[in-house]
Amino acid sequence: MLFDPTPKDNREDFFNRDEEINRVRSLSSPITLVLGLRRTGKSSIIKIALNELSLPYIYLDLRKFEDRAYISFKDLLLELEREVKKLTRKFPSLVDFLKGVKGVSIAGNEVRFNWGVKNRLNFSDLLETLNDWSKDRVIIAFDEAQDLINLRGVNLLYPLAYTFDNLKKVRIIMSGSEMRLLYRFLGVENPKSPLFGRAMNEVELRPFDHEKSIEFLRRGFKEVNVEFREYERVYEELGGIPGWLTYFGYYFIQTRNLEESMDRTLERAKGLVMEEFNNFLSKRLIAKERYMVIMKRIANGCSRWSEIKTAVEIHEGREISDSEIYNYLNNLMDSSWIVKDEEKNEYCPAEKLIGRVFRV
Ligand code: ADP
Ligand code: MG
């Protein structure tokens, strides 16, 4: 069903992204990036591609760690262990390959990863083992991979670069809502990064435009035989983010009432967006107030740099340095809360509902 508000895992329930799914499926570079704002369908597209490819895979959902100041290597190892266990249940032949790998213990058929400093599993060794074991290809998917920037105690970029260059059967898929942050983490354009200059298979999910949004709603309501007419109003109020349109459809099917469905969608958006923003703030507590002031200012209308600076200064009753303001705006752009309209030289909310949530 198109209006099911959980991530989709098959193409029939997924509207208008055939080309994008096929590009993810092509795995045409050792690393595939799936980029797009929150709720544009990244997790869905990864799940659909994994289903259709029917290759062995490991799926790591890093949103789990979103509210933490940092991720330890142990946290990551525990996730990996859970996924590798699943894989060995499906493919018992993998157990033999894991035997003897440093940091892996095997009791019966149960695989355990050690995280003690001395004898811990090395991520490169795991990748190498998967590569040796795999007959065709094996996929490691990192959903919301920009959060790996908060991983402490190990630098994943070296194993990733090694995989890219040498492990021909291992394919990595990474999604990112915070696109600039993900690029910065990978350092593709940074000569000092191990991944410098590697060409990746990039798939970007843009929000639906006006026409596609309306077609999506039309299809969704037709599918469940529900009569609906107010398409323009929905696009006008919610914009083209597929996830918000999905919530609206889902509520309308239940209530058959436009106003109530709209209210519920906005209420839902408020909850989700504020929770996500609080996660963003939890890593930047000192400047919490300032970020709120900036978001409110921008939500009330796209703003120029100087207007934003003035708003923060008035709020605090003192002068604030230019570099601090630049830093805040860059962080907000890195994490896809705001975008810069280069032509007008203004900063705007990254999408309609972010604006609505922060508007006062
Ligand atoms: P992301 O991982 O980018 O945040 P999700 O895959 O979780 O996005 O999708 C958000 C919501 O929107 C889910 O309910 C999903 O089912 C729905 N959705 C997104 N894109 C589409 C689409 N093209 N067709 C149908 N539903 C979609
Ligand atoms: Mg997702």
Distance 243 CA to ligand 1 centre (A): 5
97, 133 in Cβ contact below 8 A?
Answer: yes
Fold of the domain built from segment(s) 210-277: Helicase, Ruva Protein; domain 3 (1.10.8)
Distance 121 CA to ligand 1 centre (A): 35
In whole angstroms, give the CA distance from residue 356 to residue 360: 9
Q: Which of 39, 213, 276 best tests ligand 1's pocket when mutated (most atoms within 8 Å of CB)?
A: 39
CA 174 to chain centre: 8
Neighbours of ion ligand 2 (CB under 5 A): 43
Residues with CB under 6 A from ligand 1: 2, 4-8, 14-17, 36, 38-44, 242-243, 246
103, 71 in Cβ contact below 8 A?
Answer: no
Give the start-to-end residue ranges of the domains of the chain.
Answer: 17-205, 210-277, 284-359
Atom of ligand 1 nearest to the CA of 46: 6
In whole angstroms, give the CA distance from residue 102 to residue 92: 19
Q: What is the pLDDT of residue 360?
A: 79
Other C-beta atoms within 10 Å of 18: how many? 10
Distance 263 CA to ligand 2 centre (A): 24
The closest ligand to the CA of 63 turns out to be 2
In whole angstroms, give the CA distance from residue 23 to residue 27: 7
Q: Superfamily assignment of 17-205 in CATH? A: P-loop containing nucleotide triphosphate hydrolases (3.40.50.300)
Give ipTM to 2 decimals: 0.99
Distance 39 CA to ligand 2 centre (A): 7
Residue whose Cα lies nearest atom 23 of ligand 1: it is 15
Distance 11 CA to ligand 2 centre (A): 16
Both tokens of residue 166? 């040498």
Atom of ligand 1 nearest to the CA of 220: 25
Atom of ligand 1 nearest to the CA of 16: 23
314, 320 in Cβ contact below 8 A?
Answer: no
In whole angstroms, give the CA distance from residue 275 to residue 67: 9
Q: What is the pLDDT of residue 108?
A: 82
Q: Which of 44, 64, 144, 273 best tests ligand 1's pocket when mutated (most atoms within 8 Å of CB)?
A: 44
Q: What is the pLDDT of residue 300?
A: 97
Distance 316 CA to ligand 1 centre (A): 40
Expressed in percent and rounded to 5, the helix, strand and coil fractions of the chain are 55, 15, 30
Q: What is the pLDDT of residue 227?
A: 97
Q: Which residues contact 29 (CB under 8 A, 6 or more apart)?
A: 198, 199, 200, 201
In whole angstroms, give the CA distance from residue 244 to residue 122: 41
Residue whose Cα lies nearest atom 19 of ligand 1: it is 41
Residue whose Cα lies nearest atom 16 of ligand 1: it is 7
How distant, in Å, are the alpha carbons of 262, 306, 319, 330 from that of 323?
Answer: 40, 12, 12, 10
Other C-beta atoms within 10 Å of 321: how many? 9
The closest ligand to the CA of 42 turns out to be 1
Fold of the domain built from segment(s) 284-359: Arc Repressor Mutant, subunit A (1.10.10)
Closest CA to 73 of 135, 115, 13: 115
The closest ligand to the CA of 142 turns out to be 2
Residue whose Cα lies nearest atom 9 of ligand 1: it is 41
Q: What is the pLDDT of residue 67?
A: 87
pLDDT tens sequence for the chain (360 residues): 999 999 999 999 999 999 999 999 999 999 999 999 999 999 999 999 999 999 999 999 999 998 888 999 999 999 999 999 999 999 999 999 999 999 999 988 789 999 888 889 999 999 999 999 999 999 999 999 999 999 998 999 999 999 999 999 999 999 999 999 999 999 999 999 999 999 999 999 999 999 999 999 999 999 999 999 999 999 999 999 999 999 999 999 999 999 999 999 999 999 999 999 999 999 999 999 999 999 999 999 999 999 999 999 999 999 999 999 999 999 999 999 999 999 999 999 999 999 999 997
The closest ligand to the CA of 244 turns out to be 1
Sign of CA pseudo-dihedral 219, 224, 225, 229: negative
Residue whose Cα lies nearest atom 12 of ligand 1: it is 243
Both tokens of residue 149? 């920037």
Q: What is the pLDDT of residue 241?
A: 98
Distance 14 CA to ligand 1 centre (A): 8
Helix (H) or strand (E) segment spanning residue 108: none
Residue whose Cα lies nearest atom 6 of ligand 1: it is 41
Shared fold status for 17-205 and 284-359: no
Return the DSSP state at 303. B
Closest CA to 110 of 125, 124, 98, 122: 98
Query: Coil, strand, or helix at residue 202?
Result: strand
How distant, in Å, are the alpha carbons of 290, 328, 329, 330, 338 from that of 308?
Answer: 10, 11, 9, 13, 13
First and final CA of the chain: distance in angstroms? 36
Amino acid at 118: K
141, 173 in Cβ contact below 8 A?
Answer: yes
In whole angstroms, give the CA distance from residue 179 to residue 177: 6
Burial of 213 (0-12, 13-18, 19+ CB in 10 A): buried
Distance 189 CA to ligand 1 centre (A): 30
In whole angstroms, give the CA distance from residue 128 to residue 124: 6
Distance 143 CA to ligand 2 centre (A): 6
Q: Which residues contact 324 (CB under 8 A, 6 or more apart)?
A: 290
Output the pTM of the full model. 0.96
